[in-house]
Amino acid sequence: MGLESSQISWELMLPLALLLLLGLVLAAAGLSRGRFALPGYLAYFWIFLLICVITDFFSFAPAVWLMAFVSFRALREYFSLVDLRLEDRWGILGAYLSIPFMIYLIQIDWYGFFIVSIPVYAFVVIPFLVTLGDSRGRGSLLSIGAIDFGLFFFVYCLGHIAYLAFYSTWLVVMLLLAVAVCNMASAMTARRGRITGFVLSCLFSLALMLALRHWTSVPTVHAVVLGILIPVLVQMGDYTVGVLERDLGISAADLEPGRGRVLGCLKSYLFTAPIVFHYLRWFMKFGELVQRHVD
């Protein structure tokens, strides 16, 4: 829902200011030709902020389709890394077509259908499409598992970020900032071990959750729970994708375009986005506590 100029408040300007500031920093890093390196996840942090700004100042419809582009890019990179066969082409096509299918359900706020769109309907269709292209049945089981895994994490789980923006962009900003401070804490304590990084992440995340209560409308008790839950989920996502990177023969320290860079940038959201979305939806009752953005 677009906003008239009289409706624009300083609260809406904060995500816009953050978007512009981060955009300038990313542009400076790009122009420095490697002399000024930034963590790769900041680029997707910027894209998710852009979704929030477009939703607030223009319309949710173009914002949610920007999320479709992110999911497509992540899924395409994942498919390029796993050992899929030519016979799996129909299953791969079905996975790609699942993206607009799910995004449209988010756009029209059909939650009941969205929640089963990938885990039920796509997961039923994909095995059929894979076996349709491979009547001999040699390797189909592994292909079905690989395609469904990528579709679940890199389309369905990430899609919850866009759905959260439908209800409240400030909740998305809260999620983005919490993930960012967790990643920052992990980088600061990389030589001291995961436990030290996790403790520092919890402290940063708790402080952030409590500081943003005025804008997010999240009650104190839930802010505290999320302040601890988000670092746990970030660690789970980082660990899971880290194991997958080793299984695929990818070096986490030297990710390249098309060779795990997108997945490495998005791994912190894979567990965080869906769990935080459903936690907030269950305990906060979105229809009562946050303003929904519709066309």
Instruction: Say if residues 159 and 68 touch (Cβ distance below 8 Å).
Output: no
Q: What is the pLDDT of residues 55-110, one digit of tens each?
A: 988 899 999 999 999 999 999 999 988 888 888 999 999 999 999 999 999 999 99
Q: Is 48 inside a domain boundary?
A: yes
Query: Is 90 exceeded by the pLDDT of residue 214?
Result: no
- Structure letter (DSSP) for residue 37: -
Q: Is 23 inside a domain boundary?
A: yes
Residue 2 confidence (pLDDT) = 44
Provide DSSP, 67-127.
Answer: HHHHHHHHHHHHHHHS---GGGHHHHHHHHHHHHHHHHHHHTT-HHHHHHIIIIIIHHHHH
Q: What is the pLDDT of residues 159-190, one digit of tens each?
A: 999 999 998 888 999 999 999 999 988 888 77
3-state secondary structure labels for all residues of 199-252: HHHHHHHHHHHHHCHHHHCCCHHHHHHHHHHHHHHHHHHHHHHHHHHHHCCCCC
- Residue range 47-53: mean pLDDT, rounded: 93
First to last CA, the chain: 5
Share of the chain above pLDDT 70, in %: 88
- Residue range 46-58: mean pLDDT, rounded: 92
Contacts of 67 (CB under 8 A, 6+ apart): 51, 103, 106, 158, 159, 161, 162
Cα torsion angle, 81, 86, 88, 93, sign:
positive
Q: What is the pLDDT of residues 126-148, one digit of tens each?
A: 999 999 887 777 788 899 999 99
Q: Is 252 inside a domain boundary?
A: yes
Q: Is 295 inside a domain boundary?
A: no
Q: What is the mean pLDDT of the chain?
A: 86
Contacts of 39 (CB under 8 A, 6+ apart): 183, 187
Q: Is 61 inside a domain boundary?
A: yes
The reported pTM is 0.88
CA distance 227 to 207: 8
Residue 262 confidence (pLDDT) = 87
CA distance 144 to 206: 40
CA distance 88 to 284: 42
Instruction: Say if residues 161 and 172 touch (Cβ distance below 8 Å).
Output: yes
Q: 278 phi and psi, to 5 degrees?
A: -75, -30
**Residue 254 in tokens:** 């030297």
Instruction: Say if residues 49 and 15 touch (Cβ distance below 8 Å).
Output: yes
**Which of 33 and 6 is assigned the larger pLDDT?**
33
Q: What is the pLDDT of residues 248-264, one digit of tens each?
A: 877 655 555 545 678 88
Q: How many domains does the chain have?
A: 1
CA distance 180 to 272: 12
CA distance 283 to 289: 10
Instruction: Say if residues 252 and 264 touch (Cβ distance below 8 Å).
Output: yes
Query: Is 50 exceeded by the pLDDT of residue 293?
Result: no
Give me the domain span that covers residue 265.
5-289
Query: Is 60 exceeded by the pLDDT of residue 288?
Result: no
CA distance 103 to 131: 26
Q: Is 151 inside a domain boundary?
A: yes
- Residue range 216-237: mean pLDDT, rounded: 93
Q: Is 54 inside a domain boundary?
A: yes
Q: 131 phi and psi, to 5 degrees?
A: -70, -25
Q: Is 294 inside a domain boundary?
A: no
From 2-16, 54-68, 215-229, the region with the lowest mean pLDDT: 2-16
CA distance 234 to 226: 12
Please state at what angle helix 123-133 crosses helix 89-107, rounded to 10 degrees: 160
Query: Is 60 exceeded by the pLDDT of residue 1?
Result: no
Provide DSSP, 157-194.
Answer: IHHHHHHHHHH-HHHHHHHHHHHHHHHHHHHHTTTT-H
